[in-house]
Amino acid sequence: MYVELIKKRCSVRTFTLDIFSKEKLSEIENILKNVSRTPFNTYGRFKMIKLDQGEGRSLVRAMTTYGVIKNPQYFLVGMINKVTGNLVDFGHSFEKIILDLTALDIGTCWLGGTFNQSIFAKYAQCLADEVIPCVVALGVSASLQSPTDRLIKFMAASHKRKEWKALFFQNNFKDFAVLANHHHQLALEMVRLAPSASNKQPWRILYEDNCFHFYLDRNSSYNRLIDFLNLADLQLVDMGIAMCHLELALLDAKILGQFEFIKGMEQKHYTYITSFRC
Ligand SMILES: Cc1cc2nc3c(=O)[nH]c(=O)nc-3n(C[C@H](O)[C@H](O)[C@H](O)COP(=O)(O)O)c2cc1C
């Protein structure tokens, strides 16, 4: 059940030195092969790399995540085409992979800022027309977190989520959502638990007649920083993650639906992304 996996997942930045068994590696490969349908029908490329192969010497290992990940062993490198790639779809696909890895008891951490683009581009043989918006560190979670891990969690207030009434609305942006359908209500709660870059939680959802309209509440100072650091538009990745959580939570309740971009849904304060109709 994806609802349980969503509740279980949290960012892991401290791993043990254990390596995966052959069986686990093949289960991971299967997960990577089974990427599900995305909201805008574009697909990234996800490749697992192990750092101690080839030139994975200790300095290179430390440089990969600027020390944020303790004992980095494995990474999933996500790549999209520079022109046709879509960051919402990228977030949607990668989060589904992460939840499937969570089912295998594998610890993961999204990295959109603290990773070294050029090292990963080389290791993953990224093509000239591709970019790496994010990578995911994965491995066996250590029981004790490193001081860096604890500091990042503290700074991002990682355990906290915004209140329901700041995120989910019904019929208009004045009334917060109280949904009669408890599966729909639970699906929104699963969006609330989603991870996001710097824990900004930029998603806003307007619910109308079995339709969830997804909006992005852009944080301008954060976006200026992202531009300055020349990072991908991580808030679009966050939107894809939120959509993945909603879709999978509904799927648990056997509620199927589809993404649909509806014309005329634009709003003054929020950026309309797309809608999920079920
Ligand atoms: C798109 C994206 C990019 C992220 N980039 C980083 C990063 O560069 N470094 C890091 O330590 N954590 C990163 N995170 C993890 C977030 O800080 C974390 O998801 C958030 O604080 C919520 O905590 P949780 O994942 O434990 O629920 C990223 C998360 C997302 C979704």
pLDDT of residue 60: 67
Distance CA 122, CA 127 (A): 9
State which of 127, 153, 179 marks the end of a domain.
153
In this structure, are 18 and 142 located in the same domain? yes
Distance CA 258, CA 2 (A): 18
Contact predicate 195/251, CB 8 Å = no
In this structure, are 103 and 221 located in the same domain? no
In this structure, are 89 and 149 located in the same domain? yes
pLDDT of residue 52: 66
Ligand 1 site, residue 134, Cβ cutoff 6 A? yes
Pairing of strands 107-111, 130-139: antiparallel
Whether residue 175 is predicted with pLDDT greater than 60 in this model: the reply is yes
Contact predicate 217/269, CB 8 Å = yes
Pairing of strands 172-176, 130-139: unpaired
Ligand 1 atom 10: residue of nearest CA: 111
pLDDT of residue 67: 85
Ligand 1 center–CA 112 separation, angstroms: 8
Distance CA 235, CA 216 (A): 8
Please give the residue that has the higher pLDDT: either 54 or 4. Answer: 4
In this structure, are 91 and 196 located in the same domain? no
State which of 120, 153, 186 marks the end of a domain.
153
Which tokens hold the place of 185? 């209500």
CA distances (Å), 115 to each of 41, 53, 72, 91, 253, in order? 27, 18, 11, 17, 37
Q: In this structure, how many other beta carbons lie within 10 angstroms of the beta carbon of residue 18?
A: 11
- Identity of the residue numbered 71: N
Which tokens hold the place of 130? 């591709």
Ligand 1 center–CA 241 separation, angstroms: 12
In ligand 1, which atom is closest to the CA atom of 13? 11
In ligand 1, which atom is closest to the CA atom of 241? 31
Q: Which of 38, 39, 11 is nearest to 193 (CA)?
A: 11
Percent with pLDDT over 90 in the chain: 79
CATH code for the domain of 176: 3.40.109.30
In this structure, are 140 and 192 located in the same domain? no
Whether residue 58 is predicted with pLDDT greater than 80 in this model: the reply is no
Q: CA-based angle 21:23:24, to the nearest 5?
A: 65
- Which residue from 75, 80, 90, 111 has its CB within 8 A of the most atoms of ligand 1, so it is best to mutate? 111
Ligand 1 site, residue 194, Cβ cutoff 6 A? no
Ligand 1 atom 6: residue of nearest CA: 111
Phi, psi of 97 (to 5 degrees): -60, -45
Q: What is the ipTM of this complex?
A: 0.99
Ligand 1 center–CA 12 separation, angstroms: 10
Ligand 1 center–CA 210 separation, angstroms: 30
Whether residue 55 is predicted with pLDDT greater than 70 in this model: the reply is no
In this structure, are 115 and 232 located in the same domain? no
Ligand 1 site, residue 233, Cβ cutoff 6 A? no
- Which residue from 8, 75, 109, 141 has its CB within 8 A of the most atoms of ligand 1, so it is best to mutate? 109
**Residues 203-231: pLDDT tens digits?**
999 999 999 999 999 988 888 988 888 89
**Residues 245-265: pLDDT tens digits?**
999 999 999 999 999 999 999
What's the domain range around 252? 160-277
In ligand 1, which atom is closest to the CA atom of 95? 31
**Residues 112-163: pLDDT tens digits?**
999 999 989 998 999 999 999 999 999 999 988 888 888 988 888 888 999 9
